């Protein structure tokens, strides 16, 4: 198994990418700390893992709060003795996120607090635990829109994910000699509840779909497999990357030099 004897903490693990990754990591031998603000759904993920013979524990955390992030890492070390993989995946896509003129300051602040500050706080408390474990892997969920911009305006989300990419690169450089790898996954449009709620009309869905060369939305499990590679020792020479898992969007629209 590709994650045998490893301990992985996954935020936003009650649904979507987080849940699929938690189930996959557990199936590959990892013990999982399932983290979310949705306690009922988060505990459901734990039960799903246990039902397939895996090990998991739930920790409630609002990733925009330092005390919660400190606690979730403490839970990992207390329950499983160490932390090897930190997947900062929790994020929001606010329905009122639009262009710079119409997006309210409150929507901007909330998006930044969860999507960007949440990754910072995960790393702030997760990195010392990885150091104590002798190294490990940090995976941050960014987005293809951080590289390209979005066809449907979502200024706060796009900016927050751009910040995740920049932070990922810097952390990768700072901790490269400590056996800590830091990478960002940039998913393309996925058939998840998060995006489908945002693309709430058929016209919005088609506007996004037309840009995807493979002709369909991605599935959360396809991102989970990318995360599995970055979490495993197979990616031991991979750090500081923007791992595009986008159905070919960036290849189709990046201007050649």
> Which pLDDT tens digit goes with each residue over 202-219?
888 887 788 899 999 999
Q: Which of 157, 225, 229, 253 is catalytic?
A: 157
3 state SS of 159: helix
pLDDT above 80 (res 68): yes
> Nearest Cα to 168, choosing from 152, 192, 147, 150?
147
Please name each of the domains of the chain with its CATH number: 7-187+220-241 (3.40.50.720)
Which residues make Cβ contacts (< 8 Å) with residue 53, sequence separation at least 6? none
* Residue 229 is a catalytic residue: no
Q: Is 222 exposed, middle or buried (0-12, 13-18, 19+ CB in 10 A)?
A: middle
> Which pLDDT tens digit goes with each residue over 10-41?
999 999 999 999 999 999 999 999 999 999 99
Average pLDDT taken over every residue of the chain: 95
pLDDT band at 195 (very low <50, low <70, confident <90, very high): confident
What pLDDT is stored for residue 255 in this prediction?
Answer: 53
**Please, are residues 113 and 170 in contact by the beta-carbon 8 Å criterion?**
no
What pLDDT is stored for residue 239 in this prediction?
Answer: 98
What pLDDT is stored for residue 29 in this prediction?
Answer: 98
- pLDDT above 90 covers what percent of the chain? 84
* Both structure tokens of 250: 């960036």
Calculate helix-pair angle for 220-231, 16-27, nearest 10 degrees.
50
* Both structure tokens of 90: 């929790």
């Amino acid at each position: 198994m590709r994650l045998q004897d490893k301990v992985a903490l996954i935020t936003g693990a009650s649904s979507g990418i987080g849940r699929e990754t938690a189930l996959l990591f557990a199936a590959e031998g990892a013990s999982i700390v399932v983290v979310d603000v949705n306690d009922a759904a988060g505990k459901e993920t734990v039960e799903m893992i246990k039902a397939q013979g895996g090990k998991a524990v739930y920790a409630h955390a609002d990733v925009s709060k330092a005390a919660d992030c400190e606690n979730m890492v403490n839970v990992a070390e207390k329950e499983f003795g160490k932390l090897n993989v930190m997947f900062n995946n929790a994020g929001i896509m606010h329905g009122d996120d639009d262009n710079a003129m119409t997006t309210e300051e409150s929507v901007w602040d909330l998006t930044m607090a969860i999507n960007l500050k949440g990754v910072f706080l995960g790393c702030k408390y997760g990195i010392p635990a990885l150091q104590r474990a002798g190294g490990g892997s940090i995976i941050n969920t960014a987005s293809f829109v951080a590289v390209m911009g979005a066809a449907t305006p979502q200024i706060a989300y796009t900016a927050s994910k751009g910040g995740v990419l920049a932070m990922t690169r810097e952390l990768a450089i700072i901790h490269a000699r400590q056996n800590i790898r830091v990478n960002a996954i940039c998913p393309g449009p996925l058939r998840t509840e998060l995006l489908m709620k945002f693309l709430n009309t058929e016209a919005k869905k088609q506007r996004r779909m037309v840009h995807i060369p493979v002709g369909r939305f991605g599935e959360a499990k396809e991102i989970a497999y990318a995360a599995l590679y970055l979490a495993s020792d197979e990616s031991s020479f991979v750090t500081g990357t923007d791992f595009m898992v986008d159905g070919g969007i960036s290849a189709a629209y990046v201007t050649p030099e």
